[in-house]
Amino acid sequence: MSQLEFDEQEARQLEGMYEIGDARRRRELARAALAAAPGERILDVGCGPGFYCAELLAEVGESGWVTGVDSSPAMLALAARRCASHDNVELLEGEAVALPVRDEAFDAALTVQVIEYVPDVEKALAELRRALRPGGRVVIWDIDWDTLSVHSEDPKLSERVLRAWDEHLAHRTLPRTLAGRLRAAGFEVVDMTAHAFAALGHAPDSWASALVPFLGRFVAGRAGVSEEEADAWVAEQRRLEEQGDFYFGCIQFCFTARKPR
Ligand SMILES: C[S@@+](CC[C@H](N)C(=O)[O-])C[C@H]1O[C@@H](n2cnc3c(N)ncnc32)[C@H](O)[C@@H]1O
C-alpha cells in the first residue's frame, strides 16, 4: 500500500475513514476557512473520494461549479458516485503540479492533506495560483507529522513505526515552511490556524483510532519494521483503546491566502 497510489480497496478504506466524526470536523473547519458562496467556482485539488466536492456543491448551489482533480482513478470513481446527482461538477484525473484546468477559472481553491505528498511544492503552488482569478482564495490544509505523539508501552518500537510511517510523505513538516512558500509563489494575506486532533481512551470516532490500522499496514516491511512488529504495534494500540489507555495527538494546520487583485 502506498499513500500516493490507491487501488480500489485502499480507496474504499480511506473513504470509510473520512466518514468518522473527526473527518467531518476537519471538513467543517476547512470549508469554513474557504467560505464558498453561492454561484462560486471552486477547485478541489486531491479531491480523494469527493466528500468536499459534494459538500461544496451544496454551498455553491446550482449556479456554482466544482472541479475535483486527483491523480488516483480509484478515488475519482468514488467521488463520481458521491456527486452523481449533480451536473455542475467535473472530476478530472490529473496532477497537482500540472492541473488540467484553464488559467484564472476559479474563485477559490482547496487542497486538504495533499501538498505534503507532492515533491515539487513550488510547482503545485504556482498551479493553484494560475488556476485562480485575481483576488481568488486558497485553503491549504496539511499536517506537521513531527507533532504526532502516541502512547505505547514499547516506546522504541513505536518510534521505529512512526519513522517508517514518515515514508508515506514527501514533506513531513510542511506547515513550518508553507507560509513563506505561499508568499514566494505570489500569494498575499497568508494566515494559519492550528487544529489539534487528539484522542484519549476508547475513541472509535476519532481520526487517531482510524489511522492506526492504516499506519500499521503501511509500515509493515518498511524501514526495518517487520510484519510481526507492525501487527504487534497495532494490537497494542487496540488493547490500549480497550483498556481506556489510548493516547494519540497531532496538530493539523489550515493555511488561507489570496491571489493579488
Ligand atoms: C489524504 S488524501 C486526501 C483526500 C481529500 N483531500 C480529503 O481530505 O478528503 C490525499 C489525496 O491526494 C491525492 N494525491 C496525492 N498526490 C497527488 C498529486 N500529486 N496530484 C493530485 N492528487 C494527488 C491522492 O490520490 C488522494 O486522493
Ligand 1 centroid, distance to 110 Cα (angstroms): 11
CA atoms within 13 A on the CB side of 109: 34
Q: Find the 212 Cα to ligand 1 centroid distance in Å.
A: 19
Rounded Cα distance, 164 and 75, in Å:
24
CB count in 10 Å sphere of residue 56: 27
Residue nearest to atom 9 of ligand 1 (CA): 48
- pLDDT for 3: 54
Q: Using 70 as the pLDDT threshold, list the residues of the chain that sit under it.
A: 1-4
List residues bridging with 144 in a β-sheet. 251
Rounded distance from Cα 117 to ligand 1 centre (Å): 8
Which residues' Cβ are closer than 6 Å to ligand 1?
4, 6, 18, 46-48, 51-52, 70-72, 75, 95-96, 112-114, 117-118
Mutate to test the pocket of ligand 1, among 1, 7, 67, 114 (most ligand atoms within 8 A of CB): 114
DSSP 8-state code for residue 18: T
User: In what side-by-side order are the strands of the sheet with 106-112?
Assistant: 89-93, 65-70, 41-45, 106-112, 132-150, 247-258, 188-200
Q: Which atom of ligand 1 is the closest one to the Cα of 95?
A: 20
Q: What is the C-alpha to C-alpha distance for residues 159 and 154, in angstroms, rounded to an integer?
A: 9
Nearest atom in ligand 1 to 118's CA: 19
Phi-psi region of 252 (alpha: psi -120 to 50; beta: other; left: phi over 0): beta
Question: For position 174, what pLDDT does the model report?
Answer: 98
Instruction: Give the pLDDT score at 1.
Output: 41
Ligand 1 pocket test, candidate residues 113, 117, 139, 211, most atoms within 8 A of CB: 117
Closest residue by CA, ligand 1 atom 13: 46
CB neighbours of 71 closer than 8 A, spacing ≥ 6? 4, 46, 93, 94, 95, 96
DSSP string, 20-42: SHHHHHHHHHHHHHHT--TT-EE
69 neighbors 46 (Cβ within 8 angstroms):
yes
Return the residue matching grid coordinates 481568488. Answer: 136
Closest-lying ligand 1 atom to the alpha carbon of residue 117: 16
Confidence at residue 4, expressed as pLDDT on a 0 to 100 scale: 60
Considering Cα of 58, then 114, then 167, then 26, what sign does the dihedral take?
negative
CA of residue 7 to ligand 1 center, whole Å = 13
